[in-house]
Structure 1
């Protein structure tokens, strides 16, 4: 940490989960199902048009001119486009890169590989375990919940435990998820709960995919539209080389709001892992009123859930609410605050599948008095972490190239 006064007291990173603006050029080789994806363009089209006045004046339509948003002739922000900087398309991986570390190197395997070990661990803890059905690798636990592959994630990376909060306290789902986490070697275990369905519905919606994945079809279940509650139990993170932990160790405040609170490890950070957009925004306003110096990182997740639900209308509604929130955030910001907005991947609700899509994401950077300019293509989302490190004069994260030189005030 240097003795010089940082150019900003606070940096706000806002990730609009799954805000993709066009397929990466390698999708025909690595993800053929994503060919033609363009989340923002197709959401705007299927919503019959969309007005996002704050994002538009920042330059979202300018960096995505085919999206159908207003192309601002004179955007007020530094604006550009991100290549993801990691393989695949995943929130957990995307956030590791955004915070400045390489993707963690952990085993990738289907749930069926560890199924017997998971079943044994659950039985030792006193749970009743049986197969979810004939020919299914997923497990039916205590006659109430399913453990298996998460079907909305890429194969080999994520398992889930799904239960009805109408049938049991959510904490019971989390406890089973923690046992699954203790055995699983993959990056992420997701403990998922919702309302309005029963155990029989969960079992009925358990299926095997051609990828070999076996778990609950959460879209068919209606989980993502049922006041969804979630915890992400991760493995393989490298907090010591990520900007939240670097800042915390340097004495700065760090607040993680929304999904980022679950997928990023930072000891001592203030965390609020809300799912619904309005509670995320309310927590953000409170953080802006409370935090004096440091990092406020926010993830608005409902856009991603709308993509999984294959609902362009819901996605558009979430974007409208987020845009209103961005306007309020900007009004609360002072001249020593810096706002950085991006996405972590795409999730095109019109592409014909319920998984993430591998897409470019926008980069919008604003502070009072900033000199707007287009910086266009950045190689990696990790450039955000590198920029934050340079702002505060702390140790650089593991990866990333700063764009602080492009942030000039009149």
Structure 2
């Protein structure tokens, strides 16, 4: 019988953004458009089958036996399934919970509520502002970009500033996004840029949804397939009760790679907010070669973008690339490393809408000497942060229950 908790020098969290395993039981009440969603199952089916050898041997097919992946009878990980532990289905909210804090309590409102204040702030900074069109709350700024609601997010939570990098430097889009952030009260402002379209295309793709949201239809614009560049400008985060900041203050190394570098605040952390999968993986390999003791957190975002783009084929391709990367990571890990693979919500590209879906996500925990086992479903993604705090013997995050006692090494 194990009497001492296992000792680790490094924990690597890999979030496969939008890797959902099936709709949560409450969706018929809170998100009826998500009824029937099952991101992994539907991607595998649309791809005509999918081989993900590393994720399969870790146990992804085992915890999602109806997905169409190979069901490994003897997975090599400690494996389970997560309930999200937060309302909705959102990367920003999901990552706050993964890092151990409750969802920020900030106002939720449509862009039209703050539109006039945003316009006034932009004009004070010398920008030209006009309505995006008749009956549209979104704003057309400097004849080149649109500020409004982010249509691919749930209503009331996220605004965006969208522009073409063919028309202006991306930094100018971010600068307008920062002004929008200074006025907005919602959780997130997203500064979005891409190539291959112009201001007229952006304005043509600006629309009002039945939800009251008014902004750019980024899927129709083709933004997510145009070397997409993004910054997430957040508000209401609570870094002091989240595991990255707790670890950093305790003297551990913290590196945030991919989208997590934007949506998580941690002063002094090494951050690389890449979007495309290969740069995220390359940065991860470099981090593994560099970090000696602490936390490396990674987000693979392109799976989520494929969901927004309603492209199961692209989603499958991203999973294949990620699986290869996971295999390389595992080859780089030693006996005092712990790898945790999960998701933050779903984004079923076949469900009939371009928003996230409220789904269960996987928990796959691996070390070269781990004793594999299935464990009971976890109630919250915050259990990851609580487990990391337990591993490093630091202050506990705001929420979460450690599963370290479920991990045994041979």
Q: TM-score range by the shorter chain?
A: over 0.9
Cα offset for 1:221?
A: 0.1
Matching residue of 2:115: 115
Matching residue of 1:357: 357
Matching residue of 1:380: 380
Q: CA separation in 1, counterparts of 2:108 and 2:245? A: 26
1:256 aligns with 2:256: yes
Matching residue of 2:195: 195
Q: CA separation in 1, counterparts of 2:331 and 2:407? A: 19
1:34 aligns with 2:30: no
Question: Which consecutive unaligned segments of at least 5 residues does structure 1 have?
Answer: none
1:275 aligns with 2:275: yes
Q: CA separation in 2, counterparts of 1:408 and 1:369? A: 8
* 1:6–1:393 contact (8 Å) kept in structure 2: no
Q: CA separation in 2, counterparts of 1:348 and 1:148? A: 25
* 1:104–1:237 contact (8 Å) kept in structure 2: yes
Give the TM-score of the pair, scaled to structure 1. 0.99
Cα offset for 1:347?
A: 0.1
* 1:340–1:366 contact (8 Å) kept in structure 2: yes
Task: Describe the SS at the equivalent of 2:288.
Answer: helix
Q: CA separation in 1, counterparts of 2:213 and 2:200? A: 20
Question: Deviations for 1:112-169, whole angstroms, at most 9, x for unmatched residues?
Answer: 0000000000000000000000000000000000000000000000000000000000
Task: Describe the SS at the equivalent of 2:286.
Answer: helix
Question: Which consecutive unaligned segments of at least 5 residues does structure 2 have?
Answer: none
Cα offset for 1:310?
A: 0.1
Task: Describe the SS at the equivalent of 2:375.
Answer: strand
Matching residue of 1:58: 58
Cα offset for 1:376?
A: 3.4
Q: CA separation in 2, counterparts of 1:27 and 1:7? A: 39
Q: CA separation in 1, counterparts of 2:407 and 2:130? A: 58
Matching residue of 1:150: 150
Task: Describe the SS at the equivalent of 1:378.
Answer: coil
* 1:341–1:364 contact (8 Å) kept in structure 2: yes
Matching residue of 2:166: 166
Q: CA separation in 2, counterparts of 1:254 and 1:362? A: 23
Q: CA separation in 2, counterparts of 1:369 and 1:189? A: 43
Matching residue of 1:97: 97
Matching residue of 2:73: 73
Matching residue of 2:124: 124
Task: Describe the SS at the equivalent of 2:376.
Answer: strand
1:217 aligns with 2:217: yes
